[in-house]
Amino acid sequence: MIVNQKENKRGFGVSEIIGIGTVLVIAAAIVIPGLKEISKDIIDKTKGWVSDEFDTIFNMSPIN
């Protein structure tokens, strides 16, 4: 049996807003710690690369 359903075109409701907020909080809890580790790794590798290039160009090591 085919039943006609009334379409709701009022936009987002409270349930959708709460759902989006929940997804954002969970995603932040999972993603942010991973980003800290990745960014630390990138910074450490960049420091090493800059030190090597500085030594190559000026034939000396940077002062820490």
| For the chain, the helix, strand and coil percentages under 3-state DSSP, each to the nearest 5 | 70, 0, 30
What amino acid is encoded at 30 in this protein?
I
Percent of the chain with pLDDT over 90: 19
| Local structure of 9: helix, strand or coil | coil
pLDDT at 51 > cutoff 70: yes
pLDDT, tens digit (0-9, with 9 covering 90-100), for 23-36: 999 888 888 888 88
pTM surpassing 0.75? no
| Sign of the alpha-carbon dihedral angle for 3, 11, 19, 35 | positive
pLDDT > 70? residue 20: yes
Average pLDDT over residues 1-20: 70
